[in-house]
Amino acid sequence: MRTIIEPFRIKSVEPLRHTTREERERFLEDAGYNLFLIAARHILIDLLTDSGTSAMSTEQWAAIMRGDESYAGSESFFRLKRVADDLTGLRHMVPAHQGRAAERILFTVMCKPGHIVPSNTHFDTTRANIEFTGARAVDLPVPEAADTQAQLAFKGNMDVAALEKLIAIEGEDRIPLVMLTVTNNSGGGQPVSMANIAAVQAVCARHGIPLYLDACRFAENAWFIRTREPGYTDWTPKRIAQKMFSYADGCTFSAKKDAFANIGGLLCSNDDRVFQQETNLLILTEGFPTYGGLAGRDLDAIAVGLEEVLDADYLNYRIVSTGYLGRHIADHGVPIVEPPGGHAIYIDAARMLPHIPKEQFPAQALAVELYRHAGIRSVEIGTLMFGDAAQHELLRLAIPRRVYTQSHIDYVVEAILEVNEHKQNIRGMVLLESAPSLRHFSARLRPLAS
Ligand SMILES: Cc1ncc(COP(=O)(O)O)c(C=O)c1O
């Protein structure tokens, strides 16, 4: 059969609420044209993020009932540890309340002012946590990644020559670890090849620098390796994931992505000394090492999710359905970051709306129009979010896992194509006020007069 169906049926449903265009216009005005400030009940299809928004399975809900809420030595922890150990092969694991908590602990232990942490591309919380310690976060994506239209099988790869050069210039003592984000979220949800992971590891090993994976979307990355990299077609996703982790000395992980959990994170490492320091810090801010700021039931939901996510039918559906959205809008003239990523489609708003300069936030203007037109929430990743550091003006449509069906995605396609038809009428935005940092959460804007 050519049709790839959702590999699940639906047992419990949540109603979606339609709003009128007039109501949405009012909600926009009240929220200062900032979609973060619109109440979720006023959103029809929410593509703000794929993080913590997954639908859990019957097995996960059943596991939640098994949750052991003991303060220390909970059975839930040991169930999670067994699954994590089998997957990563890393000696030590502690839970944390989400990915950024694992990041904060890792970088507090490993980084000092003057240090440099290279990555293919750091996610924004990763960068912020590194820079909070006084160290510098450096992105070393392959140069082709800068071109949103370049068609590359592994556009999330790190530039290995640039890494070698950085180590030669700065000295290995100033680089406490190297990170690889799989898949590369800030780089368009693009995958990293096994060959690239191996090449980065070889450079790290030569210089005695540990390699960490930011493994939020490890299973989606494994599926791209299986379908795009020669030699892996017959491998199970789990075996590919295990091989990816075999190159790493540690990892951070947000269970809100590829573990279908609504909350949670993990920090894993092979280094006994680092792990001891991490545990001390964990107790200070997250909790005892066998629960790490989570309830026992959360640990069980993550344990089950980590196994479910490696199901080949699920991964095939996931990557094909994200690609379906991307292809259906790109083939009708909407410029996206090519090729479609794993968890999200990114519209290149600077290309789509060339009449709106970046100082007038073209991707935000597009996000507002998509909500006004069809009640769809997306997120600007451009000058509003990053200020002058923005490299592109992107609108991200992140797809929650197992939440929306084919007809929801068809509705999104139709809405985007309709917006594309009247794109010349979309006006830029003026920023009225915002907090100095994280301004995309607090910004208030207004549309420019036509
Ligand atoms: C690549 C990447 N790293 C880290 C994080 C942080 O994880 P969390 O949101 O659980 O703190 C995210 C979240 O979106 C992410 O996409």
DSSP 4-20: ---SS--SS--------
pLDDT tens, per residue, the chain with 450 residues? 889 999 999 999 999 999 999 999 999 999 999 999 999 999 999 999 999 999 999 999 999 999 999 999 999 999 999 999 999 999 999 999 999 999 999 999 999 999 999 999 999 899 999 999 999 999 999 999 999 999 999 999 999 999 999 999 999 999 999 999 999 988 789 999 999 999 999 999 999 999 999 999 999 999 999 999 999 999 999 999 999 999 999 999 999 999 999 999 999 999 999 999 999 999 999 999 999 999 999 999 999 999 999 999 999 999 999 999 999 999 999 999 999 999 999 999 999 999 999 999 999 999 999 999 999 999 999 999 888 888 899 999 999 999 999 999 999 999 999 999 999 999 999 999 887 667 788 899 999 987
Cα of 259 from ligand 1 centre, angstroms: 12
Residue 446 has φ and ψ, to the nearest 5°, of -145, 150
SS3 content of the chain, % helix, strand, coil (to 5): 45, 15, 40
Q: Quick check: CB of 184 below 6 Å from ligand 1?
A: no
Can you tell me which atom of ligand 1 is nearest the CA of 50?
A: 14
Cα of 218 from ligand 1 centre, angstroms: 12
pLDDT at 435: 76
Q: Quick check: CB of 123 below 6 Å from ligand 1?
A: yes
Of 324, 224, 306, which Cα lies nearest the Cα of 268? 306
Q: Quick check: CB of 129 below 6 Å from ligand 1?
A: no
Can you tell me which atom of ligand 1 is nearest the CA of 184?
A: 1
Ligand 1 mutation pick, 124, 125, 126, 127, max ligand atoms within 8 A of CB: 125
Residues 299 and 74 sit within 8 Å (Cβ to Cβ)? yes
Q: Quick check: CB of 51 below 6 Å from ligand 1?
A: yes
Ligand 1 mutation pick, 47, 48, 50, 100, max ligand atoms within 8 A of CB: 100
Q: Which residues contact residue 198 at a Cβ distance below 8 angstroms, ignoring those fewer than 6 apart?
A: 247
Of 112, 111, 288, which Cα lies nearest the Cα of 212? 111
Q: Which two tokens stand for residue 364?
A: 């935000």
pLDDT at 387: 86
Can you tell me which atom of ligand 1 is nearest the CA of 51?
A: 14
Cα of 257 from ligand 1 centre, angstroms: 8
Atom 3 of ligand 1: nearest residue by CA position: 123
Distances (CA, A) of 219 to 165, 239, 254, 315, 342: 31, 11, 12, 8, 10
Q: What is the distance of C-alpha 90 from the center of its chain?
A: 22
Q: Quick check: CB of 185 below 6 Å from ligand 1?
A: yes
Q: Quick check: CB of 256 below 6 Å from ligand 1?
A: yes
pLDDT at 34: 97
Atom 16 of ligand 1: nearest residue by CA position: 185
Q: Quick check: CB of 216 below 6 Å from ligand 1?
A: yes
Q: What is the dihedral of CA 319, 235, 255, 301, to 10 degrees?
A: 110
Q: Quick check: CB of 127 below 6 Å from ligand 1?
A: no
Atom 8 of ligand 1: nearest residue by CA position: 99
pTM, two decimal places: 0.96
Q: Give CA–CA dist 102/126, Å, rounded.
A: 10
Q: Quick check: CB of 214 below 6 Å from ligand 1?
A: yes
Cα of 125 from ligand 1 centre, angstroms: 7
Atom 5 of ligand 1: nearest residue by CA position: 99
Q: Quick check: CB of 426 below 6 Å from ligand 1?
A: no
